[in-house]
Amino acid sequence: MTETATKKVTDSAQLVSTAPATGEEIWRGDVSDVDAAVSRARRAWPAWAARPIANRVEMVRRFANEVRSEAENLTDLIAKEAGKPVWEAKTEVDAVINKVEISINAYTERTGKKKLDSAMNGIAAVRHKPHGVMAVLGPYNFPAHLPNGHIIPALIAGNAIVFKPSEKTPAVGEALVECFEKAKFPEGIVQLVIGGPDEGKALVAHHGVDGVLFTGSAQAGIAINRKLAANPGKIVALEMGGNNPIVVTKTPKVKDAAVLIVQSAFTTAGQRCTAARRLIVVEEMYDALMAELIPLTRKLIVGDPFDEPQPFMGPVIDVKTAELLEESFLALVKEGGKPLAPLRIIKEGLPFVTPGIIDTTAIEDRPDMELFGPVLQVIKVPDLDAAITEANNTRFGLSASLIGGSPEDYSRFWGNIRAGIINWNRPTNGASSAAPFGGIGLSGNHRPAAYYAADYCAYPVASTELEQPRANIGVGLKD
């Protein structure tokens, strides 16, 4: 298979990155020595942890300033290596910068010091300590923002970082780490590991790693969880995907509903863990909604990230992924699905695909899986209660949205849907970093990220304290 088809290949001891939109090589680098990276981080960690919190906060703010000064270059690199339109790559860079102040506030609120005066028993205190060396395993869909969402809270808390970006977006990972270096972080505190699955597995299992912070597929997350099941001393935060439902009930705003569905299902070419995978529609809304949704979907521009006018969608990450999506769409058709907007590869040898919509109402056993791309399954149901039941018909539980309905309908929806993110008349994606981000089931292990990342980056320590020893035994002593 060619480099274009695989997107990223290992050439002996090197990793090669190609641009999904063109297939050209844009980066090449040596595969890292995991042991050496972890050792450097372990040596550097004690001094970093001993720094005052004010100093660590100052350092991450300096990092934000470096990203700000490199914003244009970083935007272009994300667009080129991840295949995102420039407009979207820019929003990712903005999110990297904004994450710093959000994480500072979260650290203060979630893990700040607390002291209670216990009179004669002294002072009862709660403080937090860093875990040590944290391995951060990043994804390709948000190659800067999502790993940064682990790295910044972990650094503020006093941890050292060993960061392995996705083998599909190593150049962005390297650029992110260079911003920490330009901000004059102590040597060894943020380590970059270049490599593929083998290096990721080595990091997870390494005895010198105190925590694993992962964003990626459920399959990989389960493998990490299984590997570390016998090691409860290592903190593990798994941020995985979803088979997310967007439910449409009675509403006069049909055009707006169609826009919200398109934003949910096809932004980032459907390569978001919070993307809508299933559109569940009550019968009375079906015909009117399809009459708006299908033409709107066909109008979406799929193109090169740097095209003018800007496309709505760029390519998916590589040709292998595009081929898998096309095969999956055809498999749903063979099982009885009715294609409403077929997913097709539109450029030979390159991973540009049209957004696909397929009615799978007639498929009795719909596969409960995350098709990580622009594929939306439509399911027709009689009423809202049936829609809620169908929405919960999944092992995942990340994001869900209700479009239309009354406040009472939303209350019923919110109360019964099993998900970590539940929205009303808003897309399934675009969650705020100032709120917790996570799910249940195969979507995570109850360690939500974003604002709550502070919780897994430090552990609480309870203390009772007196300035001088004072004690007596009141009963049970011989005269």
Going by C-beta distance under 8 Å and a sequence separation of 6 or more, which residues neighbour residue 14?
Answer: 28, 29, 30, 31
Catalytic residues: 239, 273
Beta bridge partners of 462: 126
Amino acid type, 209: V
Picking from 311, 52, 32, the residue whose alpha carbon sits closest to that of residue 196 is 32
Going by C-beta distance under 8 Å and a sequence separation of 6 or more, which residues neighbour residue 473?
Answer: none
Task: Label residues 111-142 b or e (16+ Cβ within 10 Å = b).
Answer: beeeeeeeeeeeeeeeebebbbbbbbbbbbbb
Give the span between the Cα atoms of 129 and 355, in whole angstroms. 47
Contact 141, 153 (CB under 8 A): no
Residue 44, CB-side half-sphere exposure with 13 Å CA sphere: 21
Kindly state the tokens that stand for 387.
């829609």
Peptide bond into 153 cis (omega under 30): no
Full DSSP string of 420-451: SEEEESS-SS---TTSEE--SGGGBSS--EET
In the block, which residue shows the tokens 């292990």?
445
Give the distance from CA 17 to its chain's centroid: 21
Asked whether the CA dihedral 21, 27, 29, 35 is positive or negative, the reply is negative
Contact 442, 396 (CB under 8 A): yes
In the block, which residue shows the tokens 């060619």?
2
Kindly state the tokens that stand for 50.
């001993």
Picking from 31, 365, 289, the residue whose alpha carbon sits closest to that of residue 170 is 31
Give the span between the Cα atoms of 148 and 197, in whole angstroms. 20
Picking from 399, 361, 386, the residue whose alpha carbon sits closest to that of residue 263 is 399
Picking from 361, 338, 400, 392, the residue whose alpha carbon sits closest to that of residue 282 is 361
Full DSSP string of 91-147: HHHHHHHHHHHHHHHHHHHHH--EEEE-GGG-EEEEEEEE-SEEEEE--SSSTTHHH
Give the span between the Cα atoms of 175 and 76, in whole angstroms. 11
Full DSSP string of 84-107: --HHHHHHHHHHHHHHHHHHHHHH
